[in-house]
A and B are shown apart, each in its own frame.
Chain A
Amino acid sequence: MIRLQNVHKNYGGCPALININLHIAPGEFVFLVGPSGAGKSTLMRLLYREEVPTSGIVFVGGMNLNRLRGHQVPHLRRRLGIIFQDYKLLPSQTAFANVAYILRALGVDEREITRRVTSALCVVNLENKSDAYPDELSGGEQQRVGIARAIVNGPPVLLADEPTGNLDPATSLEIVQLLARINERGTTILISTHDQLIVNATRKRVVSLRQGEITSDIDGGLYEVESVSAQSNEG
């Protein structure tokens, strides 16, 4: 589903990613971990074509992103669900309208929008707060609206960039459990995080980045903030 081959990314001669080789199969749940500045967000941005690699090849859903032309980028992004640390909700719109926005822009029929948005809000347990504005919701609820928006178009891949960065531990665990439930329905999930709690509580595949390089890739791994787990990848 996702494949990076010998990917390098430099910013003005300064390396952000060094020789990244990574393969994520359909339906996998993967944590991308590492300290701030390790290159997690850069790698995520390569996957939704917000950035292009300096060298190497990036494949997402069978699409070679190096060959993707500007006008094809929206097509790629419609096949991805993206979740952000700061939720990126429109403050002037209700939870329902935030989730429905993308569908309206795509010209989806109003009845179909209602059906899909209601269903997405049910998945994230927010069906009772569909009329609430973002500032009337807690951080965890806002992130759940963000997740509902990411899944409303039924994407095969969800990319979550530090989705629990602004949340307390209990809410963070709820969010990850929610993403794990979505993963059980077949959606491939890649989460970049430096939240030790959610990684270690979930025991999924853990890819560690440090100073732009992959230092370990472990199925059912743990994340230790100071020293990355030395377990080898048995998968």
Chain B
Amino acid sequence: MRQLRIIKAIITETWLGFRQSGWSNWLVISILAIALTVFGGVLQVTTSLQNLVSSWGSQLEISAYLKDGYDAQVIASEIKQLPAVESVEIISKDVAWEEMQKSLHVASVTNPLPNTLHIKVLSTSKVEDIASRIKLLGSVENVRFPLQVARRLNHFRQFLEVAGFALTAALTIATLTVIGNTIHLVIQARQREIEILSLMGVSPFYIKSPLILQGASYGAISGLLAILVLLIVHIYLNPFLSEQLLGFAPLISKSMEISLLQTFSALMLLGIAVGASGSWWTSGRYIKV
């Protein structure tokens, strides 16, 4: 019960700290919320891209789209002779069209799809070599392989990670400075009270806890605001993705939903950690008890 009463008193002191800080509260919260939104956005996009790449199918596969009028069986046998080719599967244009009509409810038009070969290669290091050799065949219209897309996506993701995290780091430093200044102002406003409490034998824990709790609250409120922004973006982005990206949309939105919860948890934890540590450092520096 005694501990509960102390916690209640600490919460009351924290509330007084908020009231004393005035507009500084909103300055801290907005800067931290912006930093967390940038961080959350980067985290969300990079995680989604990573999930997308990994769920895109085997990076050991090559898809070869054949020109009309060529026998798929003959070309498949030819490709199977190439070194490092493990297997070749023929997807006839009729089967592919039937599946597409089932999954996407496509209108009844003439089948525009080509016959396709799915070639499985023994090693990722051989994929590009085999793909370029297949592309040279006169019967092959085009070649695509997930490894190529995955590499491009990974480069983009890496750039996004570096730029996003650098921006987040810069904003976090700015936030820590603003939190430090705000808590310093609270300490100055309560200097006399802190001195009296210290001389009366109140523990440093009781004196510093309201300030650390105030910082952690900044982090929690900023985290919630960042989550709200990202949630709104997600809600508006999802229909857009479904509309624009057709076949890839389910894959993207599914991977986004998986990572959304992780991102939100990370935002809350990071916000609280940044807020509390900024206050802890400042109170340690300016309160000598």
Question: A residues within 8 Å of B by Cβ?
Answer: 48, 50, 71, 73-80, 82, 88, 90, 101-102, 104-110, 149, 153
Contacts and interface: CB of A to CB of B under 8 A. Distances in A.
Contact of A88 (B192, B201, B206): B192
Task: Choose among A80, A104, A108 the residue with the greatest number of B CB atoms under 10 Å from its CB.
Answer: A104
A124 to B, nearest CB: 17
Given A88-B196, A90-B193, A74 B2 contact: no
Contacts of A75: 201
B9 A76 contact: no
B237 to A, nearest CB: 50
B6 A88 contact: no
Contacts of B105: none
Contacts of A101: 196-197, 200
A105 B192 contact: no
Contact of A109 (B1, B195, B199): B1
B5 A109 contact: yes
A90 B204 CA distance: 19
11 contacts: A74-B201, A74-B289, A77-B200, A78-B201, A88-B196, A101-B197, A102-B200, A105-B6, A105-B197, A105-B206, A106-B202
Given A78-B201, A102-B202, A107 B3 contact: yes
Interface of B, secondary structure class, is: helix
Contacts, number: 61
A74 B202 contact: yes
A90 B196 contact: yes
Interface string B107-149: 0000000000000000000000000000000000000000000
A48 B204 CA distance: 16
Contacts of B101: none
Interface of B: 1-6, 9, 192-193, 195-204, 206, 289
A101 B200 CA distance: 10
A213 to B, nearest CB: 27
A153 B201 CA distance: 11
A106 B5 CA distance: 9
A134 B204 CA distance: 26
Contacts of A71: 203-204
B199 A88 contact: yes
A53 B6 CA distance: 34
Given A88-B192, A90-B193, A109-B1, A104 B9 contact: yes
B1 to A, nearest CB: 7
Contacts of B199: 48, 50, 77, 82, 88
